[in-house]
Structure 1
């Protein structure tokens, strides 16, 4: 922030660098991953009214007792949206290293296309499911305060940015896939337990602070996935409980995202059929209003994502 303020001053602009505590960003006491509880905007209004550009340090704040805190990785996004909300602005622009959000990770899919409009729920799902374009809590705050988000780059050129808000129908109706994201480094556990023992297992896993995903508690068998970094803890818990489990390693989760996709006729077949034709195993599926998730071998991730991207973005521009 200080360097940017100096550069603005060298360009003839009145600018001032301010820390999170100086602008009144009040957080809880969860150091390293603090939540913003309030923004006291008296100081920043004084700076603005004096005709000075405030350059605020992102990802930091202060507790009510005066202790410095940080908001965690990507916390600058949260700072930007929180300031926009406190100043009652209509929008906040996030500058990243890409001119617009794309339909898939361009490192994995060379033909990934820019997306020019997204619904809050779609970008929130993308952020949670592996697309590191904006912090999920920044999206949640923007959605709560009805702040339009703009994702762009300083080197944007002629490419239009991505605008995020309460997107209306594109005219083609809802229920279309807007983006494909992925998460690597996942292990799946499969076993069969009595309901009471399964509940006890889930309690212990929760106490250990481990997040589970793709959970199946059907009477035909139980399964869940965890990040491979949590495998040792899960293995120890299962060993202590003398639970025999089948562990499937080196998996990836693919998420196809779009508002209103749950229950769309024929959509799952459009996803599953080409993967089957390519002999790509699908270990597990789940769906919600905004997401269809697939668990696949990590060794086939690139092939699977490119296959699905061709199905949904190969011809029509879905931006």
Structure 2
């Protein structure tokens, strides 16, 4: 049995027109000979009646002390409503379908309400219904723990659901449908000539998601990579083939050719950051300050440590709390720079390739964008810059690496 998993986001299932587009996608998959599993998100976006953010606001209106168990039970309702409505729509269109909650679909999680990790997927409940000739519509973003209690998977949870089901069912591909036609070389709101990538790697897409691109959730990419399930990102409303996410050239797969000459694949950005520069000067100070920040749940990035000082970036919203923690440690010689952003070039082709940092620096210098701090990995180079210069910086880097020609 050839299996495909198709995940549809909130905008795809929120309107009759969107649901009709979903029906067309499902019908095409069936015509192509696939047994089809559909994963759905909650309908719409913030402000819409059944969107996750709306349900959160509803819970908060009842009081500040709603237990995590009850919160997850409420939040799971948005996807359940979508799954029932989508199954009914498919059936009415002549495609027999059944709706399942995450738990009914065999998704088992840990005990971490609100951000549960999937620990196991039992494929039997879904496989039995596929063998009956049904399309299985699964509520994304949720599962059940060992006690049978409903849990939710956190942001990007429906992507994670689709990838986990794809792995457990040994699907040929997981298709993630959104309101854009694939993964772009940059945010098209900042770069008009941003192109849709035809193919990219798991490694690149995970880095792009981590560094600000609104694509597939990193946890979903990790699961797909573990199970060697390709992901295709497409638009529900377009016939564009979208972006295929698969293994890199180093893995020796048939998709190696598109990567051979590509140094940089995309430019991403994150705003809402602050930079902290603190003079430590004492052996104990550096590990203690990072431990205290971690204990407070403050995420630290772009870390640079020397014998005398440390510099790093944090979310702007946590800057005042971080400054208070450092002061409590006696680290009063510090500077907090607000209004920062991070721009990142991502590409598997930069691994071991000299001159990439030079091109980044030259492009930003020519665009009169100051670089306050840098960091790199084997497939990324990031620069901390003024938030006011993000558009100019992303455009300059996109031009420098000729990403408009991909």
For the residue of structure 2 that corresponds to 1:34, the secondary structure is coil
Question: TM-score, normalising length from structure 2?
Answer: 0.75
The change in CA–CA distance for 1:182 and 1:171 in structure 2 (over 3 A counts) is closer
For the residue of structure 2 that corresponds to 1:170, the secondary structure is helix
Give the structure with the higher percent helix: 2
The separation in 2 between residues aligned to 1:171 and 1:236, in whole angstroms, is 49
Pair 1:12 & 2:81 matched: no
After superposition, what is the alpha-carbon deviation per residue over 1:149-181, rounded to whole angstroms, capped at 9, x for unaligned?
Answer: 000011123x22100011324367366000010
Q: 4+ residue stretches of structure 1 with deviation over 2 A?
A: 167-175
Which of residues 280, 284, 303 in structure 1 aligns to 2:392?
303
What is the aligned partner in structure 1 of residue 252 from structure 2?
A: none
Which of residues 271, 277, 301 in structure 2 aligns to 1:184?
271
The separation in 2 between residues aligned to 1:112 and 1:100, in whole angstroms, is 11
Does the CA contact (< 8 Å) of 2:266 and 2:403 recur in 1?
no
> 136-145 or 41-50: which moved more?
41-50
Pair 1:3 & 2:85 matched: yes
What is the aligned partner in structure 2 of residue 197 from structure 1?
A: 285
For the residue of structure 2 that corresponds to 1:186, the secondary structure is strand
Which of residues 170, 175, 179 in structure 1 aligns to 2:257?
170
Does the CA contact (< 8 Å) of 2:159 and 2:220 recur in 1?
yes
Which of residues 155, 159, 165 in structure 2 aligns to 1:77?
159
What is the aligned partner in structure 2 of residue 292 from structure 1?
A: 381
- Cα distance, 1:241 vs. partner? 2.0
> 148-157 or 165-174: which moved more?
165-174
For the residue of structure 2 that corresponds to 1:195, the secondary structure is coil
What is the aligned partner in structure 1 of residue 32 from structure 2?
A: none
What is the aligned partner in structure 1 of residue 241 from structure 2?
A: 160
The change in CA–CA distance for 1:19 and 1:234 in structure 2 (over 3 A counts) is same
- Cα distance, 1:31 vs. partner? 0.8
Q: Structure 2: 5+ residue runs without aligned partners?
A: 1-82, 250-255
What is the aligned partner in structure 1 of residue 65 from structure 2?
A: none
- Cα distance, 1:230 vs. partner? 1.2
For the residue of structure 2 that corresponds to 1:292, the secondary structure is strand
| Equivalence map 1:20-99=2 (5 Å) | 20-99=102-181
Pair 1:133 & 2:215 matched: yes
> 121-130 or 189-198: which moved more?
189-198
Does the CA contact (< 8 Å) of 2:107 and 2:122 recur in 1?
yes
Does the CA contact (< 8 Å) of 2:266 and 2:347 recur in 1?
yes
Does the CA contact (< 8 Å) of 2:176 and 2:234 recur in 1?
yes
Does the CA contact (< 8 Å) of 1:174 and 1:259 recur in 2?
no
- Cα distance, 1:220 vs. partner? 5.4
Question: TM-score, normalising length from structure 1?
Answer: 0.95
For the residue of structure 1 that corresponds to 2:401, the secondary structure is helix
- Cα distance, 1:72 vs. partner? 1.0
Which of residues 185, 188, 191 in structure 2 aligns to 1:109?
191
Q: Structure 1: 5+ residue runs without aligned partners?
A: none
